[in-house]
Amino acid sequence: MQRDVEKKMENKSAQLFILVLLSALLVFPAGLAFAKAKNRGFKDSLYSLCFVNDKEGWAVGARGDIQHTTDGGLNWEKQDGGTKMLLLTVSFCNPQVGWIAGKSGTILHTVDGGKNWSKQSARRRMHLFALKALNAEKCLAAGDWGTIFYTADGGKTWEDKSYPKDVIIYSIAFNGEEEGWMAGEFGTILHTKDGGVTWSLQQTGTENTLFGISFSSKQQGVVVGLSGTMLRTEDGGATWKTIALASDDKGEMPTYYEVIMRGNFGIAIGDRGALMTSEDGGKTWKPIDVSLDIKLAWFSGVELLGENKAIIVGSRSMAIITEGNKIKLIGYLPSLFYPLNKS
């Protein structure tokens, strides 16, 4: 079942850009040193996070897993979405209304904070990797084969606004409800000024796959991707400039799967435990020092819980809370966080 998605998430130019992201369910080693067996909770990987404030959020992942927290990620409870499908993305516009999407066009919708989830249908059953809930009525979903679905009636109907080229779209970012960007395969960045009704192509100067995109204002944004690719714009994407990143301790450039910016602070996460932060609007980045155990993991979901505090999720339900450039709490969902250092 999941192998179909894994194959689609292989780079079409033969680079295995997401080897860990969806295959880790089968190969991730058990028994990381920082987590005791009794604290394991469950083992399914988590792929996406969405917080509506500093306390309340949702995480989604393998086998239909939906997790909900109201205390900033310290404790989580499982919600029933009525599916065992792989869930890859979640977006809420307020504490009550949100959507989840994933494999084979799966779309779930709630109007009561996830107490109840209903299934919705789009015209084509494409894998969906990105969502953005603009308000209680409008939402965008994107993924395989340039697929872009748009609803303006709370998901009762989904219009097909697909991009005409065969690219996988992995990420959506908006600044307000009208202006937004999408990022995906072959260095693709799409831009809208009408809330996602129409999209235009921006020039990036790269063919590398782009996995995560974030804007802290209508002008300033960062996008990350394959093999350490990072681009930054100061003019809303009219021009994108490459940011040179340091290689890891093996002299290799890890793939980054997600980035989030707020003001001058940003955090990027990815393969092989890659975590890094910026304090100057994305101009420069500093790696977060992690243990060997964490380097065995990958991370694909991140949200900011304040000016410089972040929560991160990834393989085997692993989660990390950072503050600035330091890891503060670490463990596995649903309720196992403990201080990394006693001091």
Q: How big is the chain, counted in residues?
A: 343
Residue ranges making up the domain that contains 61: 2-339
- Calculate the alpha carbon distances from 135 to 14, 120, 128, 159 in Å: 38, 17, 19, 16
Output the pLDDT for position 44. Answer: 82
Q: Residue 31 pLDDT > 60, yes or no?
A: no
Q: Inform me whether the pLDDT recorded for 41 exceeds 60.
A: no
Backbone angles phi, psi at 342, to 5 degrees: -70, -30
Mean pLDDT of the chain: 86
Question: For residue range 95-113, what is the model confidence (pLDDT) as tens digits?
Answer: 999 999 999 999 999 999 9
CA distances from 326 to 254, 266, 274, 329 (A): 19, 13, 13, 9
Is the confidence at residue 134, as pLDDT, over 90?
yes
DSSP state of 38: G
The residue type at 256: Y
pTM assigned to the model = 0.86
Instruction: For strands 189-192 and 318-323, give the pairing.
Output: unpaired
> How many structural domains compose the chain?
1
Q: Which residue has the higher pLDDT, 220 or 252?
A: 220
Residue 123, pLDDT score? 80
Instruction: Give the CATH number of the domain where residue 195 resides.
Output: 2.130.10.10
Q: Of 173-187, 285-299, 319-333, which one has max mean pLDDT?
A: 173-187
- Of residues 166 and 26, the one with the higher pLDDT is 166
**Residue 147 per-residue DSSP state:** -
Residues 179-208 pLDDT 10s: 999 999 999 999 999 999 999 999 999 999
pLDDT of residue 196: 94
Q: What percentage of the chain reaches a pLDDT higher than 90?
A: 73
Could you tell me the pLDDT band of residue 335, with boundaries at 50, 70 and 90?
Answer: low
